[in-house]
């Protein structure tokens, strides 16, 4: 874990070095005061060197000003360093989320992933900044103090040096328990985030069913689990803090008691005892910092471990090292004995053979759960075939890069995702570098231009979370406009009009007809009217192709398609 963290320190090492130098300077000033005080009490005051005494005190005051400046730098630039490390880690984590495939998102809730991008990374930031800084200040101050104390009176220093390892052992023992409970807290916090994200996303459904109380009960249950985890964490922290405070208080008592005994025996004078007490008081801050470091280390490493767990994941769909960019000339698609199952479970597709000619419009119909959508998810390689192959223009899609493959395929789904942004940016998502004029032209071709012009701010109208301010038909036409901008050779329409009323469907069908011109098009449909004019209709049932032909041919056969049509 430390090696992973240090990798993110490297680009910002100048700030890190500055922070460490300031930490060393602050420790040096803290160590100097007891020594200067001892010198003043032993040499300057007894010899009436008052002017030099006050000059020395003024110099010490200047050093404390420098110390204050060091703490400003550690606070400001040190946190800046931590923020930069956090930003780099967040970028890599988000990039990893972009790399992982559909199966990962099938198994993980959005709120849980959000927790890893926010809360966990804040803890890592604190570890990046405060961890090394507190460790340096504490180590130098404690070790330096012990060295000087051994020089002054080795017997008293030996007693103190025995107490410190005992304290460290207690800290380490409590730290392990804090680590365990901290990891559990993060898991429960991620569950809360996931629950909140789910409930807020479905708030309209909740209100429609008058199920606010049900949602509240589920949230309360998750919240109670979090409280329990947090309670265990604070119990471990309480044990840690109690033991720390005991050592903080017992150390001056030991110094006074044993130091007094040494004075009685004539082995020590009052000045050295006062100096020892100053060193012990100097101990307090670094030992408290060690305590804070233990807490930061626990939380930070828990977050870092969760970060590394995600970064260690490999995308299930891997590109070959020599994968080339897909170049689509005609757009022909061939599925050869394609079989597929999710997570080695029950097979969904059982040997699909399908040859879609360039520019052909093919409709895929069948009952729900028959494998239609799964089949179309395999073409852009959202999932990999279990057996068989899929080729585009004679190129196996496993031999080309995923990016180039998906660039050449346009997909319009039933559940269109609209970003919480303007209409302009939602359409431009199809081609991020598109000009305003290109977006307007795409909107006109998708037959949504007039609707946009009627909106309050035209193309700059904010559409709300998931496009709540748009109708179902408007969302679909925005997605169609995206595809016009993208201009792919292959088009997949996945139940794209099944959620619309008949009149809106007919209206949007004109947009689809324009979109399909000159493209190889696959249309998944429940409404058979959507595919009646297709060049070929394929009936998929139970993971197999049962029938294929034109609308008239299939009706004449009197098979599965005819049953669907008559129904």
Place of tokens 């180039």: 404
The enclosing H or E element of 539 equals strand 536-541
Together in a domain, 167 and 209: yes
Place of tokens 């069908």: 509
Inform me whether the pLDDT recorded for 49 exceeds 80.
Answer: yes
Q: Mean per-residue pLDDT for 425-438?
A: 88
Residue of 420, 312, 271 lying closest to 96 (CA atoms): 312
Q: Mean per-residue pLDDT for 65-89?
A: 90
Q: Which two tokens stand for residue 259?
A: 């130091």
| Residue 302 placed within a domain | yes
Q: Which two tokens stand for residue 215?
A: 């949602």
Give the single-character DSSP code of 312.
T
Q: Mean per-residue pLDDT for 22-27?
A: 91
pLDDT of residue 65: 95
Q: Which two tokens stand for residue 505?
A: 């469907």
Structure confidence by residue, pLDDT tens digits, 535-557? 899 998 888 888 888 889 888 88
Report angle CA 498, 445, 529 to the nearest 5 degrees: 30
Residue of 342, 385, 335, 359 lying closest to 540 (CA atoms): 335
Together in a domain, 127 and 257: yes
Residue of 355, 313, 305 lying closest to 100 (CA atoms): 313
Together in a domain, 37 and 177: yes
Indicate the pLDDT class of residue 501, thresholds 50, 70 and 90: low
pLDDT higher for 496 or 384? 384
Q: For residue 463, how far is the Cα from the chain centroid?
A: 26
What is the per-residue DSSP string for 231-299?
A: HHHHHHHHHHHHHHHHHHHHHHHHHHHHHHHHHHTTS--HHHHHHHHHHHHHHHHHHHHHHHHHHHHHH
354, β-bridge pairs: 335
343: left (phi over 0), alpha (psi -120 to 50) or beta: left
Structure confidence by residue, pLDDT tens digits, 262-296? 889 888 888 888 888 888 887 777 877 776 777 77
d(CA 390, CA 344): 19
pLDDT of residue 24: 92
Q: Which domain holds residue 14?
A: 2-311
The CATH number covering residue 415 comes to 3.40.50.300
Q: What percent of the chain has pLDDT over 70?
A: 95
pLDDT of residue 504: 64
Indicate the pLDDT class of residue 300, thresholds 50, 70 and 90: confident
The CATH number covering residue 14 comes to 1.20.1560.10
Q: Mean per-residue pLDDT for 137-143?
A: 85
Judge whether 481 and 438 are in contact, CB under 8 Å: no
| Weakest-pLDDT range from 41-50, 168-177, 247-256 | 168-177
**What is the layout of strands, in order, in the sheet containing 333-341?**
347-356, 333-341, 387-392, 395-396
| Weakest-pLDDT range from 109-113, 145-149, 469-473 | 109-113
Structure confidence by residue, pLDDT tens digits, 236-264? 888 877 877 787 778 888 888 988 888 89
Residue of 480, 485, 508, 511 lying closest to 416 (CA atoms): 480
pLDDT higher for 56 or 317? 56
d(CA 353, CA 538): 11
Q: Which two tokens stand for residue 118?
A: 């926010």
pLDDT of residue 498: 58
| Residue 327 placed within a domain | no
| Residue 326 placed within a domain | no
| Residue 559 placed within a domain | yes
Q: Is 389 exposed, middle or buried (0-12, 13-18, 19+ CB in 10 A)?
A: middle
Backbone angles phi, psi at 558, to 5 degrees: 65, 30
pLDDT of residue 485: 85
Backbone angles phi, psi at 133, to 5 degrees: -65, -50
pLDDT of residue 61: 93
Q: Mean per-residue pLDDT for 380-394?
A: 89
Structure confidence by residue, pLDDT tens digits, 401-413? 888 888 888 888 7
Mean pLDDT value across the chain: 84
pLDDT of residue 66: 94
pLDDT higher for 394 or 207? 394
| Residue 181 placed within a domain | yes
Sequence-distant (6+) residues with CB within 8 A of 147 are: none
Report angle CA 31, 34, 39 to the nearest 5 degrees: 120
Most confident stretch, 196-210, 366-380, 382-396: 382-396
| Residue 317 placed within a domain | no
d(CA 94, CA 406): 20
| Residue 323 placed within a domain | no
| Residue 74 placed within a domain | yes
Q: What helix, strand, coil percent values describe the chain, rounded to 5?
A: 70, 10, 20
Inform me whether the pLDDT recorded for 495 exceeds 90.
Answer: no
- End-to-end Cα distance, the chain: 61
d(CA 210, CA 45): 83
Backbone angles phi, psi at 546, to 5 degrees: -90, -40
Together in a domain, 215 and 350: no
What is the per-residue DSSP string for 428-439?
A: HTTSTT--HHHH
pLDDT of residue 223: 83
Judge whether 462 and 454 are in contact, CB under 8 Å: no
Together in a domain, 266 and 369: no
pLDDT of residue 283: 73
Count CB atoms within 10 A of the CB of residue 520. Answer: 25
pLDDT of residue 174: 74
d(CA 225, CA 228): 5
Q: How many domains does the chain have?
A: 2
Together in a domain, 295 and 351: no
Domain ends where: 311, 346, 371? 311
pLDDT of residue 499: 54
pLDDT of residue 496: 64
Q: Mean per-residue pLDDT for 390-400?
A: 90
Indicate the pLDDT class of residue 503, thresholds 50, 70 and 90: low
d(CA 493, CA 411): 6
Inform me whether the pLDDT recorded for 1 exceeds 80.
Answer: no
Together in a domain, 257 and 396: no
Together in a domain, 266 and 398: no
Report angle CA 399, 380, 489 to the nearest 5 degrees: 95
Together in a domain, 237 and 376: no
Inform me whether the pLDDT recorded for 25 exceeds 90.
Answer: yes
Together in a domain, 119 and 192: yes
Domain ends where: 311, 341, 368? 311
Inform me whether the pLDDT recorded for 422 exceeds 80.
Answer: yes
Together in a domain, 126 and 269: yes
Q: Mean per-residue pLDDT for 172-187?
A: 75
Together in a domain, 22 and 163: yes
Inform me whether the pLDDT recorded for 303 exceeds 90.
Answer: no
Most confident stretch, 46-60, 170-184, 338-352: 46-60
């Amino acid at each position: 874990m430390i090696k992973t963290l240090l990798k993110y320190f490297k680009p910002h090492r100048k700030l890190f070095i500055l922070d460490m130098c300031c930490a060393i300077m602050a420790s040096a000033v803290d160590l100097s005061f007891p020594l200067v005080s001892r010198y003043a009490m032993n040499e300057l005051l007894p010899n009436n060197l008052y002017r030099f005494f006050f000059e020395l005190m003024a110099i010490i005051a200047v050093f404390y000003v420098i110390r204050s400046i060091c703490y400003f730098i550690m606070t400001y630039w040190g946190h800046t360093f931590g923020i930069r490390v956090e930003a780099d880690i967040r970028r890599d984590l988000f990039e990893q989320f972009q790399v992982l495939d559909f199966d990962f998102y099938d198994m993980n809730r959005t709120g849980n992933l959000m927790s890893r991008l926010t809360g966990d990374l804040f803890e890592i930031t604190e570890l990046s900044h405060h961890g090394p800084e507190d460790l340096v200040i504490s180590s130098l101050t404690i070790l330096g103090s012990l060295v000087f104390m051994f020089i002054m009176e080795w017997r008293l220093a030996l007693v103190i040096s025995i107490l410190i390892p005992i304290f460290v052992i207690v800290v380490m023992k409590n730290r392990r328990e804090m680590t365990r409970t901290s990891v559990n807290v993060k898991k429960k916090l991620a569950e809360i985030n996931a629950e909140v994200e789910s409930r807020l996303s479905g708030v309209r459904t909740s209100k429609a069913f008058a199920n606010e109380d049900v949602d509240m009960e589920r949230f309360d249950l998750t919240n109670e689990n979090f409280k329990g985890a947090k309670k265990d964490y604070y119990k471990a922290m309480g044990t840690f803090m109690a033991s720390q405070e005991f050592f903080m208080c017992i150390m001056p008592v030991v110094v006074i008691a044993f130091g007094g005994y040494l004075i009685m025996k004539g082995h020590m004078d009052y000045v050295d005892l006062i100096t020892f007490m100053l060193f012990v008081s100097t101990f307090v801050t670094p030992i408290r910092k060690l305590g804070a470091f233990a807490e930061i280390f626990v939380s930070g490493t828990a977050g870092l471990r969760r970060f590394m767990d995600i970064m260690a994941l490999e995308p299930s769909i891997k590109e070959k090292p020599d994968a080339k960019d897909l170049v689509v000339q005609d757009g022909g698609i061939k599925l050869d004995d394609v079989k597929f199952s999710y997570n080695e479970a029950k097979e969904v597709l059982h040997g699909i053979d399908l040859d879609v000619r360039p520019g052909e419009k093919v409709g895929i119909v069948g009952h729900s759960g028959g494998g239609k959508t799964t089949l179309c998810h395999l073409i852009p390689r959202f999932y990999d075939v279990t057996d068989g192959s899929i080729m585009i223009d004679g190129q196996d899609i496993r031999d080309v890069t995923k990016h180039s493959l998906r660039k050449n395929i346009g997909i319009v789904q039933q559940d269109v995702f609209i970003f919480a942004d303007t209409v302009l940016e939602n359409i431009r998502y199809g081609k991020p570098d598109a000009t305003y004029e290109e977006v307007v032209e795409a909107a006109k071709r998708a037959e949504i231009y007039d609707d946009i012009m009627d909106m309050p701010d035209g193309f700059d109208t904010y559409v709300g979370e998931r496009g709540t301010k748009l109708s179902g038909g408007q969302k679909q036409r925005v997605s169609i406009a995206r595809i016009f901008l993208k201009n792919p050779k292959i088009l997949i329409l996945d139940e794209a009009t099944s959620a619309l009323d008949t009149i809106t469907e007919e209206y949007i069908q004109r947009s689809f007809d324009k979109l399909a011109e000159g493209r190889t098009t696959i249309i998944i449909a429940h409404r058979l009217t959507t595919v009646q004019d297709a060049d070929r209709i394929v009936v998929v049932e139970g993971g197999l192709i049962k029938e294929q032909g034109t609308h008239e041919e299939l009706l004449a056969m009197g098979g599965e398609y005819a049953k669907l049509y008559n129904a």
